[in-house]
Amino acid sequence: MDQNNRRRTDLEVASFDSGEPGFDRARMRRQSGGFVDLGNESQYGTGGHQASGANEIFADVQGDVPWWKSNFFISQPVLFGTWDGVFTSCLINIFGVIVFLRSGWMVGQAGLVNAVLIVFFTVFVALISVLSAVGICERCRIESGGVYFLLAHTLGSRMGGALGMVYCFGQAVGCALNVFGFGESMASLVGTDNTWAARGFAVSAVLLLGTINVAGVKWVIKLQFVLLLIILVAALDFFVGSFTTVPDVEFKGWLGGTIGNNTWADYQDGYTWFKCFGVFFPTITGILAGINMSGDLRNPSINIPNGSLAAISTGTFLYLMFVITLAATVTREALLTNFSITADMSAVKILLLAGLYVSSMSSCLGAMYGTPRVLQSISNEKVIPGLEVLGHGRGPNRVPIYSMIVVAVVTVTFIIIGDINKLAPIVTMPFLITYASIDYSYFALAQTFDLQHRREMRFQGHSQRDPQVYGATGSDLDLLFPERIRHKTVGDFTPSPTDSAIMNGRTSNGEVRPAINVHSKNKNWYSHLCNRWLSLAGVAIKLLLMFLVHWMYAIGCLLILWLLWLYIGAANPAVKPGRASEFRFFHWLKISFLQAIGKRPLEYEQLVVTPVHADVSMEQERLNDDNEDFASRRRYHQSTALQTHLVSVDS
């Protein structure tokens, strides 16, 4: 009897596993009688053949399954870890075609010193946003949706939807930039300078990579391992070639004395330091690729920080290796005019060309994987009316077919426009505004945590109502407002096992309570790097860079973001607020200014009380926002702003 019940439970889980949106296996395995342990099943089916996974939920049902079916078709969601899911995805996205085709040009324009500064500043700008995203992952439980989830969960679905659409546009244009570099290289390989030939190769690559993405994330990850290996071999081939290649007119070798002539800037054709930065910056924009895989990771809060920081460290080393080697071995004239100089000076040219082709395709592969999933999340949450069709998915991992088609159409459109130097500044704007928003999100989230902390401290120690359930500091208000109970110790309060259960959202009798909104920092090795003030500085840096790189593109990007924000507010006014909605930036700015000039700001908290105090004036105010749905209702609630010395709290 138990075995039959066990089998029925497994099949019920499997039915949920196969198709429902927003599937959460941990939640669906939780049954009324407790938890269903699927981890101890035998890894072999009844027919004696190994199932496609150790925890294959159909292992007792499928029996003999052909090897080609169990290996090539996915019957359950596939989850990945730090190195196979995040590190690989990030590195193949941040080591793209620009490193191979424009590193030398950047050195020729800006010189070695400025080129190194551009590399470090590019990494620094991206690193601030990575640390901000890591901080959000620590303070909030991250789910599927990647960048959109971070922004919508923190700033609200209205701003998150607008920023998510801008980010998707930037990813699609970035994909066009990278794959167009592949088209240029292929056209040069076959001996033609025809621009339309390069565009044809690029479009063919988009179609191929789209087909691979349709096959499923399992094949994307497997292909990424192969592509990363080829890229690293190409980088090694380039460095070895700088020692072994015979010097000629353009390549002088390490002892040719070119580094002295390439040390300082010699800008031409109207380029400046910031314009060179705008051309190089898109190479780092793939650093959020690991975050976009959040729905396919085993433990996103751990996998994303470790994988992203390891990838950005490796990428920085490779950037500097290319820049320094080119400055020390190639003449300035060749750097400015010969975009394929890295291939000419390599030890085995075919290996370098393979790395060039792969870097172009791998960046596009990552963009075509992550971007449609961001669109899918926006669609599934119904943030923007009319996009519901983009939320449909295929297979256990819910591959977003329609979203992929939209991204591919935008990519092909900008491939037809062509020209890497023209596309790069366009790509830079959406990413800079997205990164600035992530930085602000972490700052607002940290400030919100402080607001909650101060509010909870005011109520600390008011009652001994139920010490067995709520500990020494519990109060009867905690019964009505469980969000007041902190998720970590406050003061001298040591939580009991029951307290811990309440803090995690479940009491000893099984009653579910709301979870805490914002958590404190964890004590991981990278936690101290997540600094709210560094994130706030990152917001100012990125907004300033947008205008320094190309002020017209910057205004256009901000205008599009504002129009999207207005449209979402008008078409869908009931979107969810974010966890940082309690923090108001301009109010905080006003208070900070008053404190800076020595004035004490008057802060008050709105209280709902009964009109029984004769000496206190009351005013009617509806606590909900003005909305036509509530226009017919009377304004029942009465409230007033009181100074703290006029109110005594008696619990």
Q: What is the 8-class DSSP label of residue 632?
A: T
Residues 578, 155: contact at Cβ < 8 Å? yes
Give the dihedral sign, CA 589/593/598/602. Answer: negative
Rounded mean pLDDT, 66-85: 61
Domain boundaries defined on the chain: 88-446
Looking at mean pLDDT, say which of 91-95, 187-191, 238-242, 637-641 comes out highest: 238-242
Backbone dihedral angles phi then psi of residue 437, each to the nearest 5 degrees: -70, -40
Give the Cα separation of 251 and 334 in Å (integer).
8
Give the Cα separation of 202 and 632 in Å (integer).
59
Q: Which residues contact 10 (CB under 8 A, 6 or more apart)?
A: 36, 38, 57, 60
> What string of DSSP letters covers 311-339?
HHHHHHHHHHHHHHHHHHHB-HHHHHH-T
Please state the separation of Cα 639 from the chain's center in Å: 41
**What pLDDT is stored for residue 535 in this prediction?**
95
**What pLDDT is stored for residue 124 in this prediction?**
94
**Residue percentage of the chain with pLDDT more than 70:** 69
CA-closest candidate to residue 303, choices 89, 521, 520: 89
- The predicted-structure confidence for 185-217, as pLDDT tens digits, reads as follows 788 778 777 888 888 888 888 888 888 777 666
Q: Higher confidence at residue 549 or residue 641?
A: 549
- The predicted-structure confidence for 322-346, as pLDDT tens digits, reads as follows 999 999 999 999 999 998 899 899 9
Q: Higher confidence at residue 590 or residue 58?
A: 590
Give the Cα separation of 362 and 227 in Å (integer).
7
pLDDT band at 528, cuts 50/70/90? Answer: confident
Give the dihedral sign, CA 136/142/145/146. Answer: positive
Mean predicted lDDT score pLDDT of the chain: 75
CA-closest candidate to residue 74, choices 287, 256, 187, 221: 221
**What pLDDT is stored for residue 49 in this prediction?**
32
Residues 613, 639: contact at Cβ < 8 Å? no
- The predicted-structure confidence for 414-457, as pLDDT tens digits, reads as follows 888 766 667 777 888 998 999 999 999 999 999 998 888 887 77
Q: 């991206």: which residue's tokens?
A: 126
Q: Which residues contact 374 (CB under 8 A, 6 or more apart)?
A: 145, 146, 147, 148, 164, 167, 168, 171, 292
CATH no. of 88-446 = 1.20.1740.10
Q: Higher confidence at residue 316 or residue 29?
A: 316
Q: Is the predicted pLDDT of residue 103 greater than 50, yes or no? A: yes
Give the Cα separation of 540 and 154 in Å (integer).
19
Please count the other Cβ atoms lying within 10 Å of the Cβ belonging to residue 61: 14
- The predicted-structure confidence for 453-511, as pLDDT tens digits, reads as follows 887 776 655 444 444 444 444 445 555 555 445 443 333 333 333 333 333 334 333 43
pLDDT band at 258, cuts 50/70/90? Answer: very high
Q: Mapping DSSP to helix (H, G, I), strand (E, B) and coil, where does residue 88 land?
A: helix
**What pLDDT is stored for residue 240 in this prediction?**
95
- The predicted-structure confidence for 289-313, as pLDDT tens digits, reads as follows 888 777 778 888 788 899 999 999 9
Containing 544, the helix (H) or strand (E) segment is helix 532-571
Pairing status of strand 619-620 against strand 638-640: antiparallel
Give the dihedral sign, CA 521/527/530/532. Answer: positive
**What pLDDT is stored for residue 37 in this prediction?**
38
Q: Is the predicted pLDDT of residue 32 greater than 70, yes or no? A: no
Rounded mean pLDDT, 66-81: 56
Rounded mean pLDDT, 88-102: 85
Q: 């669906």: which residue's tokens?
A: 28
Q: Which residues contact 319 (CB under 8 A, 6 or more apart)?
A: 99, 103, 119, 123, 283
**What pLDDT is stored for residue 394 in this prediction?**
72
Q: Is the pTM of this model over 0.95?
A: no
- The predicted-structure confidence for 141-155, as pLDDT tens digits, reads as follows 777 667 888 898 899
Q: What is the 8-class DSSP label of residue 83?
A: I
